[in-house]
Amino acid sequence: MKTARAVPVLMYHHVSPNPGLVTISPENFRAQMRYLAEHDWHTASLDELARFLAGESLPKKSVVITFDDGYLDNWVYAHPVMAEYGLHGAIFLVTGWIGDGPPRPHAACSKVGAGGTAHLPATPDHGTCKRLIAAGRADEVMLRWSEIEAMRAAGTFEFHSHTHTHTRWDQIETDQSIRLNRLTEDLETSRETLRARLGASTPHLCWPQGYYDADYQRLALASGFTHCYTTQPGTVCPGAAADALPRIVIKDRGNDWLASRLWLYRSAFRTRFYGWFKGR
Ligand SMILES: [Zn+2]
């Protein structure tokens, strides 16, 4: 079997008919997922990616799908498409924003009649989600644990940490020791919440807004997070630093755009050349 030399990690946030910052339409998301399925891309888990970093092989066409924050629209619009095409991804949860209650309908529920999406929950744009979360109404726009369990059972998604509160402590706390204590608390609460809810600890952490520094990396490792994901562009090669893994920002574009990104980022050489060309 030919093995991958570099594995692109894709970064999504919202899949929703309501356009906005970091949102892809359900039509474009479906086109991208269909492309992956029809062209035999292997959608690797984060543990598989960790083993690839350590030297194990992965199929030549391997890619990692990640979603940040854990929005309700991931359940409503992304999960059914992933299930249909037999694909797998990872969602980094802000554990303090996840609520309890029964699963809500998603786009492939049998109750959705011909042309009828009226009973689907609202999936507002990113700005509206942020305002509702700040107003204490996170449950209206974020996943519930019941939906998370259903996605795990279906094999469409696995779940990891995006901290407990998504706070940029560097922007809030000027006192360094308080700042680092708050961050430690945030990391450990998230890790403990995931362990209690999902039955296993995760070593995978995604930094809120991609921000981290050397102190953050040290605290993450001390809290048990060996693999940290950023918003820096690039691709993952064997031997790369596990504490600062690059990802590719997804655009609201179709399969041709995704194919061009995958062609670029499945090659470490092309990725480096492209980074040089972009002045990185
Ligand atoms: Zn985030």
**b/e per residue, 122-143, with b = 16+ CB within 10 A?**
ebbbbeebeebbeeeebbbbbb
Ligand 1 centroid from CA 207, angstroms: 7
Residue 254 has a CB neighbour count (10 Å cut-off) of 18
Are 204 and 90 a contacting pair, CB within 8 Å?
Answer: yes
Are 79 and 151 a contacting pair, CB within 8 Å?
Answer: yes
Residues 6+ apart with CB under 8 A from 249: 11, 231, 233
Structure tokens of 61? 């066409």
User: What is the number of domains present in the chain?
Assistant: 1
Ligand 1 centroid from CA 73, angstroms: 15
Report the predicted TM-score, pTM, of the whole model to 2 decimal places.
0.95
Ligand 1 centroid from CA 112, angstroms: 30
Ligand 1 centroid from CA 1, angstroms: 36
Domain assignment of residue 68, yes or no: yes
Ligand 1 centroid from CA 92, angstroms: 8
Distance, C-alpha 3 to centroid of its chain: 24
Structure tokens of 133? 């979360």
Residue 211 has a CB neighbour count (10 Å cut-off) of 13
Read off the CATH number of the domain in which 115 is found. Answer: 3.20.20.370
Which domain range does residue 165 map to? 9-277
Ligand 1 centroid from CA 96, angstroms: 12
Residue of 183, 274, 257, 192 whose CA lies nearest to 28: 257
Ligand 1 centroid from CA 110, angstroms: 32
pLDDT tens, per residue, the chain with 280 residues:
689 999 999 999 999 999 988 999 999 999 999 999 999 999 999 999 999 999 999 999 999 999 999 999 999 999 999 999 999 999 999 999 999 999 999 999 865 555 555 589 999 999 999 999 999 999 999 999 999 999 999 999 999 999 999 999 999 999 999 999 999 999 999 999 999 999 999 999 999 999 999 999 999 999 999 999 999 999 999 999 999 999 999 999 999 999 999 999 998 889 988 888 888 7
Structure tokens of 228? 């940290």
State the Cα–Cα distance between residues 185 and 166, nearest whole angstrom: 12
Residue 116, pLDDT score: 54
Ligand 1 centroid from CA 265, angstroms: 23
Residue 110, pLDDT score: 63
Ligand 1 centroid from CA 162, angstroms: 7
